[in-house]
Amino acid sequence: MRFGGGGRGRRTWVCPHCFRRVGRGGFGFVCVTGGRECAEDRRLAAADPLDRRATCGTCGHLTTRRRCHACGDRLPEGYLESPGRIVALAGPVSSGKSTYIAVLVHELLHRLGDELGTSLVPCDDRTTDDYRERYERHLYDSHRTVPKTQERDGGRPLVYRLGRTRRGAFGRTRDTSLTLVFLDTAGEHFGSRDRMETRLRYLAEADAVVVLIDPGDVAGPGAASNPASGAAAGGAVRTAEHTAGPSADVLTRVLRHLGEVHAPGGRRKVPVPVGVALTKLDLLWPRLPDNSPLHRTRTPGPVFDADDRAAVHTELRALLTGWQEGGLARRLDQSCADYQLFAVSMLGSSPRGAELGLGGVRPHRVEDPLMWLLHRFGMLDRGTG
């Protein structure tokens, strides 16, 4: 566990807002009464942030709210006691990071929540407002694409508490929860190694990384229109003139950065889980054989389907080889101790300009990377049969 739990012996935590790693003295209590923050008080300043509550010397009320001294933002309830996870998203400008966040959170709040028996609760009003203004009102109210994240935007993460009640032996139940942090970052920040290392502090502290890949960068020209002919696993043969696009460059920079943080000197592989997700899968459906596992949907249920996961991963490795991108998988083999390949469609069909298709948002397998990570984080059991 990289942060967020461990009790009083824990030395450092990572703030889910500013991603700074600080010790116990980096957090403190804050009292809010009547909707207004009380003046700084010696009693709150001296209180141990690992205590469950403290008494405000200004108004006399008990408070359970804690905040990070470095950025001033309030911590999710119980954040220092129970595990939190930073899920870092990476990808070039065209990969669809904003749309992916918009659809994944919506699915967790609605369809997936019922299926998995989970509740996704925003940890603060800012997360609620930001999701509503930056994503939901465009995609689900106006039926338009999510505006591109500008370089000046994306500095404020969405912080959610994901809770789940698990049933064990003899009818017993056990409540588990974790904090999920999603940060939508402008693709330009991944354009060079220097910019990535100086602007993207959260990558170094991430508990898992999902790199989004634009299919046009790996499947070759005409990925949206020309059907495959004779390629392995139904894939398209890339011409010799077509070189790898920015997605491959971003993946290389991210893997190099993770290696320097977690495995300096190349003595071992990156230990954190790394997912590589091919987005806009709907553009490639005409190229795939009818029996491709990328056509079918995951069997619904509150478990991790390991057989389905293996079939999709194997299919994507074969496709990469057919697209003359087998080196991408070999690079992951050499760099990562734990990685998986995914293919997702956030919308289900290509938008017409900024307007969504007639069917609206029809996601396909957008939950797959998170299901895998929830299994890795101990929140989701492996299915049997």
Residue 168 shares a structural domain with residue 36: no
Residue 32 shares a structural domain with residue 165: no
Average pLDDT over the chain, rounded to an integer: 81
pLDDT in tens, 28-42: 898 887 667 887 667
Residue 116 shares a structural domain with residue 59: no
> CA neighbours within 13 Å on the CB side: how many for 221?
5
Residue 164 shares a structural domain with residue 263: yes
Average pLDDT in the 225-229 region? 34
Average pLDDT in the 67-77 region? 87
Residue 41, pLDDT score: 67
pLDDT in tens, 78-95: 788 776 788 888 888 778
Is 227 a residue whose pLDDT tops 80? no
Please count the other Cβ atoms lying within 10 Å of the Cβ belonging to residue 382. Answer: 11
More confident residue, 45 or 268: 268
pLDDT in tens, 183-206: 777 545 555 555 555 456 778 888
Indicate whether 75 belongs to any domain: no
Residue 361 shares a structural domain with residue 270: yes
Is 238 a residue whose pLDDT tops 70? no
CATH number at residue 126: 3.40.50
The token duo for 207 is 């508990």
Residue 45 shares a structural domain with residue 146: no
Indicate whether 382 belongs to any domain: no
Residue 300 shares a structural domain with residue 359: yes
Residue 221, pLDDT score: 54
More confident residue, 333 or 175: 333
Residue 90 shares a structural domain with residue 55: no
The tally of domains found in the chain comes to: 2
Q: Which strand (E) or helix (H) includes residue 247?
A: helix 246-262
pLDDT in tens, 243-283: 446 788 888 888 888 888 888 877 789 999 999 999 999 99
Is 225 a residue whose pLDDT tops 50? no
Indicate whether 385 belongs to any domain: no
Average pLDDT in the 364-377 region? 95
Residue 5, pLDDT score: 38
> 304 and 381 in contact (C-beta within 8 Å)?
yes
Task: Name the percent of the chain lying above pLDDT 90.
Answer: 34
Is 361 a residue whose pLDDT tops 70? yes
Alpha-carbon distances, residue 376 vs 96, 146, 283, 305 (angstroms):
24, 30, 30, 13
Residue 33 shares a structural domain with residue 174: no
Question: Residue 163 is part of which domain span?
Answer: 84-376
Residue 131 shares a structural domain with residue 93: yes
Residue 57 shares a structural domain with residue 110: no
SS3 14: strand
Lowest-confidence region among 65-79, 204-218, 242-256: 242-256
Residue 13 shares a structural domain with residue 141: no
More confident residue, 327 or 355: 355
Average pLDDT in the 213-225 region? 69
pTM: 0.85
Confidence of residue 232 (pLDDT cuts 50, 70, 90): very low
Is 7 a residue whose pLDDT tops 60? no
